[in-house]
Structure 1
Amino acid sequence: MGSATATGRAAVRGPLSRDVRLFWCANATDALGTQASGVVLPLLLLGLGHSAATVGLVAGVSTAAGLLLAPFAAVPADRGARKPVMLWSAVVSALAMGGVAVAAATGRPPLALLLGAVLVERFSTAVYEAAAAGTVALIAPAADSARVVAGLSAGDQGALVLGPALGGALYQASRALPFVADAVSYTVTAVCVGALKSDLRPGDGEAAGTGPAPGRGEAPGEPGHEDATGARTPAGPRRNRPRRRPALRAELGAGLALVRTSPFLRLVLIWTTTVNGVIVALYYGAVFTLQKGGHGGAPMGLVLALSGAAGLTGSLAAPRVVGRIGAARLLIGVSWLLVPLAAALATARGPWTYGGLFGVFCLLMPLVTVVLQSRAIQETPPALQARTAAVLATAVGGSAALAPVLAGACASRAGTAAPALASAAVLTVLACWTTYVRIPARGGAV
């Protein structure tokens, strides 16, 4: 897998660029607003008299819509429109959340209006996330990628801790305020993106040490350009050569083709998809157990707060930890440590026990995910960053959507401890695989 010493030393270098700080601000603000509004949207729908089934339908449809749209949105982003796509999707999301806030403040808005606004916001957010996925490679040198990814992960984890509390407090004052806060957060995100000095086109990645990229407005497969595997065809005379755009199917499949042909990206796909699905299943197993024990919503809030704080700590510590331990040993060690933690959750009954075990789980997870994501950025050609990230995000989102269904089936058939025991078995298989998989080194970097 390669030594991580260089990356570990990079974590203590000088300050990062202005664009990196702006991107961190955009990501953290966006995540905070999303968490603040997301935690109270079910409460708003229930307060308006809609059933729990309706609430679940809204959540499921909006999540599925985002997963389906992301690969399509990644194509124009990789073709050079990354910055305008990010900017205008943030603006549209701000308008959509502003619409929800106005509707919530005016009495009993029709469900169709709320659902439409939520879907527009979800579509726009999916577009933003797909386009933003390739930004790190274009604004930071490869040596700083782990530090940048760690900062992004820390922003997400911090939002997980603060967002629900902020949303709940605002909802107590007025049911429209959380959505106002989300609209403001999207506005701040748009301002930060607009202030980036880089235009975020793939060609800019050359300066960041990410390697050559296709020229603007030209199709992969032409001489002098990278194909889906990163290989380059020889350059030749360009005069009178017709420009052929690849078919949409080839455009959409380029990221998947790269993941299929890269051993390291396959590792990222398998590890992150499995572990994220497992943690969602474990969370729902905790919900089932605590509900059966007569605990209310406050204990689950405690579990989420503790796990979010631990995840924040793990994200911030990741670059230094990998510098001391090494990426390969860290991957194997964490993979095995997650197994007894999942098994121990099968015996947990109280919220403090769940919170402690989840906290350790969420402390360890970012140590590996930051490493995997930062090297995945280095492994991916600049012109395929968004599409490759969309493939990985869709797989992770699919596992997170399937996990509650499987956890519920396990709990109903074999008891509330079954999701944790099944998760431990899955993690054991993953740990065995990561122990024996061989990943080619990449110049001493993570």
Structure 2
Amino acid sequence: MEISNAPGSGPSAPRSTEAAADRTAGPPGEAAEPPEGDGPARPPLPRDVRLFWTAHAADALGTQASGVILPLLLLGLGHSPATVGLIAGVSTAAGLLLAPFAAIPADRGARKPVMFWSATVSALAMAGVTLSVATGTPPLALLIAVVLVERFSAAVYEAAATGTVAMIAPPADYPRAVAGLQAGEQGALILGPALGGALYQVSRALPFLADALSYTVAAALVRSLRSDLRPERDESDPERTESDLRPQRADSDNDSAEKGTPSDARPRRLAAFTAELGAGLALVRTSPFLRLVLLWSTTVNGVIVTLFYGAVFTLQEGGHGGAPMGLVLGLAGAAGLAGSLAAPRLAGRISAARLLVAVSWLLVPLAAGLATAEGPWTYGALFGVFCLLMPLVVVVLQSRAIQETPPHLQARVGAVLATSAGGAAALAPVLAGLFAAGAGTAAPAVLCSGVLALLALRTTAVRGRLRGAAG
């Protein structure tokens, strides 16, 4: 789910996409019927979708521009690689742990204010880094504190933003909306590091200023959204979880708690909060399709990071410098952008189940080929095809996952999927290093090809059961 993944309680006009959603939406999990005359003359996406795209792309561009420079800044200030790695690991882990908690207020209806204020805090944090770097040598404690604040705020923003597509786009346009978000991320992967490097050559503070400005743009665009981003709750919805009813029961029991059992009030509130926190995981566990999304996204996220580090180790062993690695990343980013742009049309022509199985099997020989690749061009070509295919499935899975998830659980389900995929990506460099050190630089690719083969077998095995949900 979307990504990458905005809470809105402010002045909210009636949901602009409601009528279109009523015309196109089928039962949960079924593919929406395409509008009549679907083809080159498809109507433009709603204004809020375009604003949300721009906010997402600006945020991603600034993050990539500063993210590639922060390690260089820390190393340039005399800090060790171990310190740099520790800061990166702690900030990433903190964000993953915080996301499920931030998803609760978003699902309760605070999506827009949470997104706005978290983007604002991130902008202030990056402005603090800019000021401290521009005026001298910032102390490590200050940099760590500001980076953690920014990571916390960014995690809150990402968790709240999950599910926004369901509030601002009709179901028939979910693939186009998700593909736009994916394209923004891929474009940022291409342009962000180059922008950060160019700005760093002018002044080491400028990449962080660019990130602060990108957060400011995102906050302003989120605030200008007109759609009501609060989920509509249907009391008769059978998928409405027990956790959504418990807070009401706890409130209705306040009188009895005050009359003689005050000690019971706190455990009840804790139980209600725990149930709300776990509602997203509970839905993922009971939905075959969402379980597949979790398995596929977690596995492929971990694999692609492992393959990237395997490429770094192999190219370094072959005596290639940073330029060849930049070539690999550039080709991969361009291929990912092309895949994201092509995904909506393919989603309308090929069933999701068939596309999922086909891509899952195609990834296996690509990973195996990387085990024997040597030069940067070979790596770039194979890695590029891998990154071309992956968005085709990601867009389809995220679009259908939005349909599978009730509006009042969008952020929490998204947080579960993002935390699992992010955790796999965080562990991947460790596994790649261990396998490369113990069995050679080709070992990470061999490991990945085996894991992908198991994933393809599992995807094929459950395809029949998922036809109704996955297309």
Q: Which residue of 2 aligns with 1:294?
A: 319
Aligned residues: 423
TM-superposition CA deviations, 1:127-169 (whole Å, max 9, x none): 0000000100001111111110000000000000000000000
By how many angstroms is 1:300 displaced? Answer: 1.1
CA distance, structure 2, for counterparts of residue 58 and residue 385 of structure 1: 30
The question of 1:359 aligning with 2:384 is answered: yes
Q: Which residue of 1 aligns with 2:400?
A: 375
The question of 1:134 aligning with 2:163 is answered: yes
Structure 2 letter corresponding to 1:301: G
By how many angstroms is 1:440 displaced? Answer: 3.9
TM-superposition CA deviations, 1:272-318 (whole Å, max 9, x none): 10011001000000011011111111111111111011000000100
The question of 1:183 aligning with 2:212 is answered: yes
CA distance, structure 2, for counterparts of residue 231 and residue 391 of structure 1: 16
Pairing partner for 1:39 from 68, 89, 99: 68
By how many angstroms is 1:436 displaced? Answer: 1.5
By how many angstroms is 1:198 displaced? Answer: 1.7
By how many angstroms is 1:319 displaced? Answer: 1.1
CA distance, structure 2, for counterparts of residue 11 and residue 113 of structure 1: 54
Contact conserved, 2:243 with 2:275, CA < 8 A, in 1? no
Aligned residue for 1:27, secondary structure, equals helix
Deviates more, 1:248-257 or 1:431-440: 431-440
Percent identity reads 73
TM-superposition CA deviations, 1:171-200 (whole Å, max 9, x none): 000000000000000000000000000231
Q: CA, structure 1 residues 250+229, in 2 after alignment: closer, same or farther (shift >3 Å)?
A: closer
CA distance, structure 2, for counterparts of residue 91 and residue 269 of structure 1: 31
CA distance, structure 2, for counterparts of residue 151 and residue 442 of structure 1: 25
CA distance, structure 1, for counterparts of residue 225 and residue 130 of structure 2: 29
Q: Which residue of 2 aligns with 1:344?
A: 369
Q: CA, structure 1 residues 179+263, in 2 after alignment: closer, same or farther (shift >3 Å)?
A: same
- Provide TM-score, normalisation by structure 1: 0.90
The question of 1:272 aligning with 2:297 is answered: yes
Pairing partner for 1:119 from 148, 159, 181: 148
Structure 1 letter corresponding to 2:314: T
Q: Which residue of 1 aligns with 2:192?
A: 163
CA distance, structure 1, for counterparts of residue 113 and residue 39 of structure 2: 31
Q: CA, structure 1 residues 22+41, in 2 after alignment: closer, same or farther (shift >3 Å)?
A: same
By how many angstroms is 1:247 displaced? Answer: 1.6
Q: Which residue of 1 aligns with 2:79?
A: 50
Q: Which residue of 2 aligns with 1:63?
A: 92
Structure 2 letter corresponding to 1:359: G
Pairing partner for 1:72 from 96, 101, 112: 101
Q: Which residue of 1 aligns with 2:412?
A: 387
CA distance, structure 2, for counterparts of residue 232 and residue 22 of structure 1: 31
CA distance, structure 2, for counterparts of residue 224 and residue 269 of structure 1: 28
Structure 2 letter corresponding to 1:324: R
The question of 1:15 aligning with 2:40 is answered: no
Pairing partner for 2:446 from 410, 421, 424: 421
CA distance, structure 2, for counterparts of residue 183 and residue 70 of structure 1: 21
Where does the alignment leave 5 or more consecutive residues of structure 1 unmatched?
204-212, 215-222
CA distance, structure 2, for counterparts of residue 66 and residue 23 of structure 1: 22
Q: Which residue of 2 aligns with 1:396?
A: 421
By how many angstroms is 1:107 displaced? Answer: 1.5
CA distance, structure 1, for counterparts of residue 440 and residue 414 of structure 2: 37
Where does the alignment leave 5 or more consecutive residues of structure 2 unmatched?
1-28, 255-267
Matches within 5 A, 1:307-326: 307-326=332-351
CA distance, structure 2, for counterparts of residue 61 and residue 260 of structure 1: 28
Structure 1 letter corresponding to 2:343: A
Q: Which residue of 2 aligns with 1:209?
A: none
Contact conserved, 2:74 with 2:84, CA < 8 A, in 1? yes
Contact conserved, 2:32 with 2:171, CA < 8 A, in 1? no
CA distance, structure 2, for counterparts of residue 334 and residue 5 of structure 1: 24
Structure 1 letter corresponding to 2:164: T
Pairing partner for 2:119 from 79, 90, 102: 90
Aligned residue for 1:16, secondary structure, equals coil
CA distance, structure 2, for counterparts of residue 328 and residue 280 of structure 1: 25
Contact conserved, 1:7 with 1:146, CA < 8 A, in 2? no
Structure 1 letter corresponding to 2:282: A
CA distance, structure 2, for counterparts of residue 2 and residue 413 of structure 1: 47
By how many angstroms is 1:3 displaced? Answer: 6.5
CA distance, structure 1, for counterparts of residue 54 and residue 36 of structure 2: 24
Aligned residue for 1:346, secondary structure, equals helix
Structure 2 letter corresponding to 1:128: Y
Q: CA, structure 1 residues 23+416, in 2 after alignment: closer, same or farther (shift >3 Å)?
A: same
Q: Which residue of 2 aligns with 1:208?
A: none
Contact conserved, 2:167 with 2:228, CA < 8 A, in 1? no
Structure 2 letter corresponding to 1:129: E
CA distance, structure 2, for counterparts of residue 136 and residue 297 of structure 1: 38
Q: Which residue of 1 aligns with 2:288?
A: 263
Structure 2 letter corresponding to 1:386: A
Q: Which residue of 1 aligns with 2:455?
A: 430
CA distance, structure 2, for counterparts of residue 65 and residue 346 of structure 1: 33
Structure 1 letter corresponding to 2:431: L
By how many angstroms is 1:439 displaced? Answer: 3.6
Q: CA, structure 1 residues 53+25, in 2 after alignment: closer, same or farther (shift >3 Å)?
A: same
CA distance, structure 1, for counterparts of residue 305 and residue 110 of structure 2: 34
Q: CA, structure 1 residues 8+69, in 2 after alignment: closer, same or farther (shift >3 Å)?
A: farther
Pairing partner for 1:25 from 49, 54, 60: 54
Deviates more, 1:318-327 or 1:148-157: 318-327
CA distance, structure 1, for counterparts of residue 416 and residue 242 of structure 2: 17
TM-superposition CA deviations, 1:4-59 (whole Å, max 9, x none): 87499867521111110000000000000000000000000011111111110110
Aligned residue for 1:388, secondary structure, equals helix
CA distance, structure 1, for counterparts of residue 350 and residue 102 of structure 2: 38
Q: Which residue of 2 aligns with 1:251?
A: 276
